[in-house]
Structures are given as C-alpha cells and as structure tokens.
C-alpha cells in the first residue's frame, strides 16, 4: 500500500471518528464532508451523481437524510422487494396507516408503517395523502431492511424544526438559506412522484390483455385511486408476468410441432 493510500485511509478514519463522536457533519471541514458523502455512497452502492442523500439541520446538527434515489437504488442493488400488507383507516384518530413488508435478497424481512393525517381531507388532497402514506411505508421499510437508521424525505416533512441546507457536493461548502421550506419542497416532490399517468397505465393493461375488471381483481381492490406510482409499477409488472405465463401456456410443445 502506498503512502498516499495510507494517508487517505487515515484521513477517512479521522472523518468517521468525528462524525461518530459528534453526530454533526457541520464539524467537518468542507473537503471532509465531500469525502464522507462519497464514502457513504460507495459503502452502500449508491451513485453520488444522482444526489441520493441530502442535508438538513435537525436538533442543531447537520445530518443526512435519504431521498427517493437512495431507496430506489437500494432496492435495485440489494434485491429488496416491497409489498403492501395492510391499509387501515383510523377514523377516531383521523389517520390512514399503511404497512409495508420488505424482503431482501438474503432472506431478511422487515415491516414498517406509513401514517398520514387525513382528518378533514377530501378529493385530491385526500388522494395525495393516501399515496403519501404508501410511499412513506415503502421507503421506511427499505431503509430499515437495509440496516439504515436514516430519515427519508417523506418523514423529514413531519419534523417541524428540520431546516434544509444546501451543501455543494463538489466542494462541501454549506450554503445556508439557499433552499425553500423543507415541507413545501418535499410535499411538492412527493405529489409529483406519486402522480400516475392513468392513460398510459390503461393502454398498457389493454395491450397485456387485461380489462378494467381483471385489473381490479388482480389488485384486490375496487379502486386504484389510492395507489401511488410505485404501486402501479408493481401491478404492471405482475400483469406482465401473468401475460408471459399465459403466452407460454398457449405455445405448442416441441413434439407437437
């Protein structure tokens, strides 16, 4: 091992020690923040160019939280499959609670819930809240089964004192006050992420040979309005699998050709 490699290793050890002891990334020098961010991405198999994590100040400490790109990449790289196991309205509490179960490639399982306040909501606002609960449950269980104790961005919305901070990923410099309110920014992102292109969905369902009744039966629900984009993708993949099986069953056997 060269002296340069040893120096780099020692530097990273010092950076990690500082983070572990203080729990505050603001205590690092800008260059150390860059190194730490890239090291975390490398250790988890995340692509730093997609900015899978972002920064916020929580309880007076600069910390990382996971964005959508992080949970998407973790599911893909670790073979994590997620399914919704329960949906429940709690009218007395005004809550809608979704339970998601994740299974990793190694067989490890975990469950997490996503809960949102739906009291007094109607129409599109209610639909957005239902989709947000599913998104929250899926992201939380993904981070949990991956062994990460981070907040994800849907959880960060509910933390009143959380303050977003823009950190330049190239230089590590902190730019205070350069972002809008965390709640407004993340809720807008969640709405955009959860928006489903229904025309494209039903066109694909028709191409695969599924009518509306068959789709609802496969989904086990009378309405798809509460499903977010991730759930719709899961449903489409299930439809594609069934279409492939049906097509294979229609093929003649080799000795019949």
Tens-digit pLDDT profile for residues 136-173? 999 999 999 999 988 888 887 677 777 878 888 888 88
CA of residue 72 relative to chain centroid, distance = 6
pLDDT at 70 over 70: yes
| CATH domain 72-145 topology | Double Stranded RNA Binding Domain (3.30.160)
Average pLDDT over residues 193-218: 84
Q: What percent of the chain clears pLDDT 90, i.e. is strictly above it? A: 34
Question: What is the pTM assigned to this prediction?
Answer: 0.64
* Distance from the Cα of residue 106 to its chain's centroid: 20
Query: pLDDT tens across 108-120, in order?
Result: 999 999 999 999 9
Q: What percent of the chain has pLDDT over 70?
A: 80
Q: Is the pLDDT of residue 182 over 60?
A: no
Summary mean pLDDT of the chain: 81
pLDDT for the residue numbered 113: 95
Every domain range in the chain assigned CATH 3.30.160: 72-145
């Amino acid at each position: 091992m060269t002296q340069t490699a040893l120096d780099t290793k020692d530097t990273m050890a010092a950076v990690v020690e500082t983070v572990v002891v203080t729990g505050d990334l603001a205590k690092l020098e800008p260059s150390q923040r860059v190194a730490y961010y890239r090291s975390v991405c490398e250790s988890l198999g995340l692509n730093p160019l997609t900015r899978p994590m972002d920064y916020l100040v929580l309880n007076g400490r600069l910390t990382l939280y996971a964005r959508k790109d992080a949970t998407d990449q973790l599911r893909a790289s670790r073979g994590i499959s997620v399914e919704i196991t329960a949906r429940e309205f709690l009218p007395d509490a005004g809550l809608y609670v979704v339970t998601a179960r994740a299974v990793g490639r190694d067989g490890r399982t975990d469950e997490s819930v996503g809960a949102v306040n739906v009291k007094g909501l109607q129409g599109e606002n209610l639909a957005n809240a239902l989709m947000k609960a599913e998104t929250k449950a899926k992201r939380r269980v993904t981070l949990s089964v991956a062994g990460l104790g981070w907040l994800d961005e849907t959880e960060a919305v509910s933390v009143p004192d959380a303050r977003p901070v823009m950190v330049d990923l190239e230089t590590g410099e902190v730019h205070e006050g350069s972002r809008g309110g965390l709640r407004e920014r993340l809720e807008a992102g969640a709405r955009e992420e959860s928006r489903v292109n229904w025309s494209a969905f039903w066109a694909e369902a028709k191409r695969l040979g599924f009518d509306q009744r068959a789709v609802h039966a496969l989904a086990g629900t009378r309405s798809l309005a509460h499903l977010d984009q991730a759930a719709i993708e899961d449903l489409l993949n299930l439809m594609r699998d069934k279409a492939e099986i049906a097509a294979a069953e229609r093929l003649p056997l080799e000795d019949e050709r």
